[in-house]
Structure formats: structure tokens, C-alpha cells
Amino acid sequence: MNHQNNSHRRTSKLKFEQIYVIWGLWLFLFAALLGTSMRLFWVIDLPFFEYTNVLHAHSHLAMLGWGFTVICALFIFFLKGLVQKPKSYRLLLLINVLVCLVMTVAFVVDGYTVLSISLLTAHLLIAYRLGYLLLQDLKRLTYKTASLLGRWAIYWMFISTLGVWFLPVVIAKFGKFDPLYFASIELFLHLQFNGWFVFAILAFLVLTLEQKRFILKITKFEFWMLQISLVLTYGLPAFWSYPIPVLSHLNALGVVVQLLVLGKLLYPLLKSWKVFQRDEVTIGDGLIVIGVVSLLIKTIIQFTLILPSFLGASSEVRQFFIGFIHLIMLGVFTMTCLGVCVRNGIIPQVKLSKLGLQILILGFISTELILFTQGLLLWNVVGAIPYYHEVILIFTIFLPVGIALVIASIYSTSSKKAANILS
């Protein structure tokens, strides 16, 4: 009997990488619920909440909670036996989850206050320590291309925080409505999305393939061109604050370079993926393809902003801006990370998880189509989608439902494995 109980405890116990991913998925679920409530604001009256406060809570939780946690979880998974301080990772990630949850409540209740800013500061300090630990362990990784991409993802995460530290100085000297204030926020967002997130998912894709003995290499020239394009494309958000023509020209140059380098890198990546596909394409493969295609669409959209009319629309039409941010966060980042999790067995391939992921995909694609269609209609002054707010709310609900089913599938699969051992 004791032997059976011990077996049950060992078998029902989730792996550490699954625990970390589940923590991230719970934060993702809460962020999705906040996003859904923001869509609800436009349909019914919610007198007890302020829209701007919920927006801050949603964006911070999505990036600093879900995004940060799942990146760390996947790096830890791929490092496996190379992790030198597993207990430190566990403690820091747990503290960060708690910090993000309290920060979310603080934002919803009162917006930017001493408490929410203090918790944001705590997250940054945790991120520095976790980033340092990851840098030490990634140096020991035998897969050089992935190690390089992974380490630079962390470097860009570090550099992005300069935008946050600039804010108090800018507010004290120039106020919250100075262009430098918005430029500092955009520096943080640009390097988080296009540096930390994009370099991390490229590392995960390369690692997934290299584990199958398919080695992908990037030349020094291509790698530094990718870095330069990241710096140059900051010209677009900087242009929104300082409409100087040279900034839009720098962005245009950066986009061309980025398109060429990413095309060179992603084409063999997608081509090599076919080598490892089973007889039937899995949901994980589909998610990764959606993520990679989203990355290419993102770059193409940036390329169209070379035209002055499109450049103006990018900042003037709210739906374009939201759709573009969600294209990066949900399409490029989330779909790729979830696909990598499925491919590597962190998320089980069972009916419940497949249903959840399919609903999530439907929610993502449908809301993107609605956002960009509404944006195009408003931009061309030809009307709007009938019952736009109600329609997009309905499809937005698919996102938290899909995430909840994925979380349930991980717990359910773990429990069934334990039951099978005992039977």
C-alpha cells in the first residue's frame, strides 16, 4: 500500500517545466479575462472599474506575467541538466508570479500608484537575477546558434528596461505629456516585443530542431544585420513621438534588412520542419506555422509603413495599433511558444488540449480579422462593421475559454497517468 501511495505521488507530480508553464498559463488566462472585460466595457456599463486601469493591468500581466514566465520555463526545459541553480529559478519564478498577481490587482483598483510602481520595480529586479542565471547556463549550451539567440534575447530584455528607468526622470523634468515620455515607453515595448520575445522564440525553434540533430547556423553577418534592423526599426515608434522624416527613413531601412534576414533564416527553418513531421500534421506544428507566418506578416506590415499614408494610419487608427500588438503577442509569441510546448510534450496532445488550442486559434484569427477590417473601414471612411463591439466581444471570449481548456488538459493528463499506474 505504501509503495502504491509513493508511486501515486511520484507519478501524479507534474514536471518542473510543466509547473512553470502552468503558472504562465494561469497568468495568461487572467490577462485574457481582463482583455475580455475591456471589450465588455463598450457593450455594457461597468461602473466599478476604470477602463485605463484595466488596460494597464492587462498589458503588464500579459508581458511581465505570461510572456516572461513562459520564456524562462522553456529556457529551463531546453537547458535540462545544465541548470546550475534549479531552486533559485523555482523561487524567483514563484515570487514573480505572486508579484504579477498583486500588481494586477493594484492596477485594476487604483492604476499607477506607489504600490503598483513598487511591484513593477520588484519584477525588474527579479528579471535581472533570472536573466543573469540564464546567461550563465546558456553559455554551457552545446547548440551555438540557439545559445547566441537566447543570450541576446536576455541582453535585449535588460536594455529594454532602460525605457522604464528613464520615466521618473522624464516626468520630473518634462512631465507626462512630453514626447520623450512616450518615446521611453515605446523603447521598452519595442525591445520587449522585437528583441526579448522574438529572439527567444527563434532560439526555441532552433533548439527544437537541433534536438532532432538538424543543425541550423546563422552567419555573423546575418546575426548582426538582425541586430541592426532591430535598432533601426525603433525609428517607427520614435517617429510617433518626434515626426522627423529621417526616423521614418531609418525604420524603412531597418524593415528591408529585417525582411531579408528573417526570410533567409525562416525559410530553411520551415523547410527543415517537414523532415520531422509525422504522417499527420500535429496541432503543435500548426501553432508553430501560425507563429512563423505571423512573424512574416508583422514584418510585411512594417514594410508597408514605408508609404506615408500607411505610416499615418498606423498611429491614427486605434484598431490597427491594437491588431498589430496582438499579432505580435498572440500570433508571433504565444502561438510559437505553445507549439514548442506541444512538440516537446510539455502540453499533452490529447482531445481536451487540442480543443482548447483550436478554440484559441479561432479566437486569435477571428479577432485579428475583425480589428483590421474595422480599421480599414474607418480609415477609408466607408462605414463600420455592424455591431462591431458585440461581435468582437463574442470572439474574444474564445481566448480565455481556450486557455482554460489547455490548463485543464495538463492537470487531467497528469491525474490519468497516476490512475493508470495504480490500476
Per residue in 403-421, pLDDT (tens digit) is 999 999 999 887 666 555 5
List Cβ neighbours of 22 (8 Å cut-off, separation of 6 or more): 14, 407, 410, 411
Q: Name the phi and psi angles at 113, rounded to 5.
A: -135, 180
List Cβ neighbours of 56 (8 Å cut-off, separation of 6 or more): 107, 111, 112, 116
pLDDT digits (tens, 9 = 90+) for 209-237: 877 767 677 888 999 999 999 999 999 99
CA distance 338 to 344: 10
Per-residue model confidence (pLDDT) at position 9? 40
Residue keyed to cell 540533430: 213
Q: Name the phi and psi angles at 243, rounded to 5.
A: -70, 65
Of the candidates 137, 168, 177, 173, the one whose C-alpha atom is nearest the C-alpha of residue 154 is: 137
Q: Check: CB of residue 327 under 8 Å from CB of residue 297.
A: yes
CA distance 364 to 396: 8
pLDDT digits (tens, 9 = 90+) for 293-305: 999 899 888 888 8
Helix (H) or strand (E) segment spanning residue 231: helix 220-232
pLDDT digits (tens, 9 = 90+) for 251-261: 999 999 998 88
pLDDT digits (tens, 9 = 90+) for 324-372: 999 999 999 999 999 999 989 999 999 999 999 999 999 999 999 999 9
Which three three-digit cell numbers place residue 105? 490587482
Per-residue model confidence (pLDDT) at position 8? 40
Q: Name the phi and psi angles at 44, rounded to 5.
A: -130, 165
| CATH number for the domain running over 15-140 | 1.20.120
CA distance 415 to 422: 11
Query: Which sign, positive or negative, has the C-alpha torsion 153, 193, 284, 346?
Result: positive
CB atoms within 10 A of CB 147: 18
Q: What is the largest CA-CA distance in the chain?
A: 76
CA distance 210 to 208: 6
Per-residue model confidence (pLDDT) at position 10? 37
Helix (H) or strand (E) segment spanning residue 84: none
pLDDT digits (tens, 9 = 90+) for 86-129: 899 999 999 999 999 999 999 999 988 999 999 999 999 999 99
pLDDT at 160 over 90: yes
Q: Check: CB of residue 149 under 8 Å from CB of residue 206.
A: yes
Note the pTM of the prediction, 2 decimals. 0.92
Most confident of 77-81, 280-284, 304-308, 359-363: 359-363
List Cβ neighbours of 422 (8 Å cut-off, separation of 6 or more): 4, 7, 8
